[in-house]
């Protein structure tokens, strides 16, 4: 019996030495957004390595932060499109140019010149891929003394102010860190290119805010307009798990579609912009 116990102990020791510990490196975050009319929208975000996958009931957007590329997947039609943010905007503008020509066909030359100038300015801003790490100094991020427990995590309340007006409140915890392995600067660069106003008008470009993303998670946020709640986003569940690499690629049986075909399925881009 003694020899058997000794053998068992040795085997356990060898297992501890030679079998690596399993480390869950991915995260799955479920969120619920509620607008001012009570309508609810659901999204699941998957995070692992330098990949982020946003999934809604109608569409999927996969972001590769190493390549700064986006893949748009439509499961209902089994099609997808992949490209850089610049390619995405360039092809969108080409399609909108055609539509604009049809819309302005009967507009007088005097009015057409002004409209063309406005539209050209919008296009130039959309195609600008430079990233500005400055933000409006009138926008402030203020930590309050309010604290509460959300999903079992101790969280602190922060307010975002423009001047003296609170435009958003959020509850943040540093007890869980799903974005700690993500290149935050690449993520901000990606969103700055996708949404031009993101870089210049948002406190999201501030070092203080970026440090929060690296070391914790926003569990709940509320946006305000004129003291009224407009949108509330809450994390309903979060778990750490390994995610297979193929999950961040379109299924092998899906077909790559042309961008003109994808344009008819573009609501996913509006969802993605709202989510960030």
Q: What is the pLDDT of residue 268?
A: 47
Q: What is the pLDDT of residue 201?
A: 47
Domain range list for the chain: 26-88+130-275
Alpha carbon distance 155, 167 (integer Å):
19
Q: Tokens 């020899």 label which residue?
A: 3
Q: What is the pLDDT of residue 33?
A: 94
Query: What burial class does residue 45 get, using C-beta atoms within 10 Å of its C-beta: 0-12 exposed, 13-18 middle, 19+ buried?
Result: middle
Task: Quote the radius of gyration of the chain (alpha carbons, Å).
Answer: 23
pLDDT string in tens for the chain (276-residue length): 545 445 444 444 444 444 444 446 899 999 999 998 999 999 999 999 999 999 998 889 999 999 889 998 988 889 999 988 778 777 777 766 776 677 667 777 776 676 667 666 666 665 665 544 455 567 788 999 999 999 999 999 999 888 888 888 999 999 999 998 888 777 777 776 665 544 444 566 566 777 788 899 999 999 987 767 789 999 999 999 999 999 999 999 999 988 777 766 655 444 544 544
Alpha carbon distance 37, 91 (integer Å):
34
Q: Which of 275, 273, 276, 271 has the alpha carbon at shortest distance from 58?
A: 271
Q: Which CATH number fits domain 26-88+130-275: 3.90.280.10, 3.30.300.20, 2.60.40.420, 2.50.20.10?
A: 2.50.20.10
Beta bridge partners of 218: 172
Q: What is the β-pairing status of strands 79-84 and 255-256?
A: parallel
CB of 218 closer than 8 Å to CB of 172: yes
Close Cβ partners of 33 (under 8 Å, ≥ 6 residues apart): 40, 41, 42, 43, 231, 232, 233, 274
Pair of tokens at residue 49: 């390595």
Beta bridge partners of 60: 55, 73
**Treating both helix axes as pointing N-terminal to C-terminal, what angle do 184-194 and 207-214 enclose, rounded to 10 degrees?**
120
Whole-structure pTM value: 0.73
Close Cβ partners of 236 (under 8 Å, ≥ 6 residues apart): 30, 31, 32
Q: What is the pLDDT of residue 262?
A: 72
Q: What is the pLDDT of residue 16?
A: 42
| CA 113 to centroid of chain Cα atoms | 37
Beta bridge partners of 160: 141, 168
């Amino acid at each position: 019996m003694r020899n058997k116990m000794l053998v068992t102990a040795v085997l356990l020791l060898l297992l501890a030495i030679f079998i690596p510990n399993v480390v869950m490196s991915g995260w799955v975050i479920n969120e619920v957004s509620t607008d001012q009319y009570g309508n609810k929208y659901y999204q699941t975000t998957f995070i692992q390595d330098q990949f982020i996958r946003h999934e809604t009931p109608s569409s999927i957007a996969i972001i590769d932060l190493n390549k700064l590329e986006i893949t748009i997947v439509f499961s209902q039609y089994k099609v997808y499109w992949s490209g850089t943010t610049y390619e995405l905007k360039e092809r969108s503008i080409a399609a909108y140019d055609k539509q604009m020509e049809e819309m302005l066909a009967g507009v007088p030359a005097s009015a057409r010149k002004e409209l063309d100038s406005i539209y050209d300015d919008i296009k130039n801003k959309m195609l600008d891929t430079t990233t500005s790490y400055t933000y409006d100094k009138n926008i402030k991020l203020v930590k309050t003394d309010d604290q509460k427990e959300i999903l079992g995590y101790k969280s602190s309340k922060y307010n975002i102010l423009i001047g003296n007006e609170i435009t958003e409140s959020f509850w943040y915890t540093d007890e869980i860190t799903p974005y700690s392995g993500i290149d935050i600067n690449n993520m901000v660069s990606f969103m700055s290119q996708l949404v031009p106003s993101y870089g210049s008008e948002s406190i999201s470009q501030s070092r203080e805010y970026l440090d929060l993303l690296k070391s914790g998670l926003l569990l709940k946020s509320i946006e305000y307009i004129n003291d009224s709640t407009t949108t509330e986003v809450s994390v309903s569940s979060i778990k750490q798990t390994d995610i297979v690499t193929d999950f961040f690629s379109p299924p092998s049986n899906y077909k790559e579609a042309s961008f003109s075909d994808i344009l008819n399925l573009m609501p996913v881009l509006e969802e993605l912009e709202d989510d960030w």
